[in-house]
Amino acid sequence: MQESVALRIEGLRKGYRVGLRRRVEVLRGLSLCVGQGEVYGLLGRNGAGKSTTFRILMGLCRPEAGSIRLLGERPGARSAQLRVGYCPENPQFPLGLTVLEVLRFHRALVGERVHSPRTRIDWLLEEFDLEEYRRRPVRALSRGTIQRLALALALLARPELLILDEPLTALDPVARHRVNEILLDQKRQGASMIVASHILSELESISDRLGVLSGGVIQREIDLRVEAAEAVRALEIRVPSEREAEIRAGSPDLVGVAEGRTVCYRELAFDQAQELVRRWSAAGIPVLAMGPSRRAMEAEILAIIDHPAAPPAARPPEAATAGQRPEPRPAPEKETV
């Protein structure tokens, strides 16, 4: 029977030496899974361990403990790597190669997975707005163009699983919108994804579930499909700040938050928001915006990131009784990736 989980991580641990004596534990037992056809957003501040996790998934560094299955196989398996598309946070390519040469080189690496390769490359150049750069060397490309090239390479072999580390970094607003459309299209075609970012809004637009990575583990998982269904029960309305006194006179219990030249009223029930809009419109008070109120979730995520719960500590060795030598410590857990 086909594996229903595209990616499974269990108990992943990784640390680094800093100087001669200090050691930093980046991952402290990270566990998560991504279902077939699901988009999993990995949210965490810079340095939380997102890139380390992705490098381990791609076999670029080795974990100290834990197990990983990519599409039911070990990460190092050639058959698994050919089915995975990867975009690193800081992609780098040989500076003398042109965009077309980079694409052709990577096509040669995964050739047996690509049908009609010439058509596929042409499609990628068009989709990622790279057509005018096809003969241009990498050294002449902007940071955003290099990022688009890396994303194009991630899709070259029609992967079943996409591993994207800060994929919208360095992209301008137009390119961000276009890349989001491309990723959503991949999702509709059944591709699974794990996407890392330190910006919540970048993940909300494409993710099904969100994992908050802090303290080396997933502190909380949020099903954004449920959140979206419940969001209509909590709305926010934004009005010009110069009308706040008038609003307060008519609704003394209503508390708004000043944001520049606007005032935002949040966590409003649907019926309450409808009544307020009707009343304000009759009074000539312009409603600048109305939509789902997501601040409660954002505040909760920020609190988790700022004050993560400590992961379970390793059990200390029992103290030796007087005159007895302590039992030897067991050997470190072997990597099972």
Q: Give per-residue pLDDT as tens, 22-39.
A: 888 999 999 999 999 999
Q: How confident is the prediction for the chain on average, in pLDDT?
A: 85
More confident residue, 62 or 227: 62
DSSP character string of 259-293? ETTEEEEEEE-HHHHHHHHHHHHHTT----EEEE-
Q: Which of 290, 297, 275, 301 is nearest to 235 (CA)?
A: 290
Query: Which residue spans within the chain are E strands per DSSP?
Result: 5-18, 22-35, 39-43, 65-70, 84-87, 161-165, 192-197, 209-214, 217-223, 235-240, 257-259, 262-268, 289-292
Instruction: List the chain domain ranges.
Output: 5-229, 235-292
Q: In what order do the strands lie in the sheet with 262-268?
A: 257-259, 262-268, 235-240, 289-292
Q: What is the pTM of this model?
A: 0.74
Percent of the chain with pLDDT over 90: 49
82: region left, alpha or beta (phi > 0 left; psi from -120 to 50 alpha): alpha
What CATH number labels 5-229?
Answer: 3.40.50.300
| H/E stretch holding 160 | none
Please give the angle made by the CA atoms of 116, 153 and 81, to the nearest 5 degrees. 90
Mean pLDDT of 302-329: 54
Instruction: Identify the CATH assignment for 235-292 out of 3.30.70, 3.30.1370, 3.40.50, 1.10.3470.
Output: 3.30.70
